[in-house]
């Protein structure tokens, strides 16, 4: 059964900009930064889920306005189908 990664930001206190271009956390749908970008985040929101068993996290910050930072929870979630025979 496929295991995917679900990420939830439970604390997100970064320098805010409407497009999150100053400080952000990028989530990639794979094992490195060449994987498709799931999004760049500077505020917390809904859980983000990968399509496979890897999710790559990059924190970017610039030289000014440091805030408290971020923390996140992640978990594996089983996805797939179950065949039931009687």
Stretch that binds Ca ion, among 28-36, 41-49, 57-65, 69-77 (CB under 5 A): 57-65
Alpha-carbon distance 38 to 43, whole Å? 14
User: Per rule CB under 5 A, is residue 15 in the interface with Ca ion?
Assistant: yes
Strand partners, 70: 12
Q: Are 3 and 54 in contact (CB under 8 A)?
A: no
User: Per rule CB under 5 A, is residue 59 in the interface with Ca ion?
Assistant: no
Identity of the residue, 6 or 61, whose beta carbon is nearer to Ca ion in the bound complex: 61
Name the site residues for Ca ion (rule: CB under 5 A).
15, 22-23, 62, 65
């Amino acid at each position: 059964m496929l295991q995917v990664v679900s990420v939830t930001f439970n604390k997100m206190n970064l320098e805010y900009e409407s497009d999150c271009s100053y400080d952000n956390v990028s989530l990639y749908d794979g094992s490195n930064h060449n994987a498709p970008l799931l999004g760049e985040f500077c505020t917390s929101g809904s859980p983000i889920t990968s399509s496979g068993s890897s999710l790559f996290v990059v924190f970017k910050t610039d030289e000014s306005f440091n805030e408290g930072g971020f923390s996140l929870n992640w978990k594996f979630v089983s996805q797939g189908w179950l065949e039931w025979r009687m």
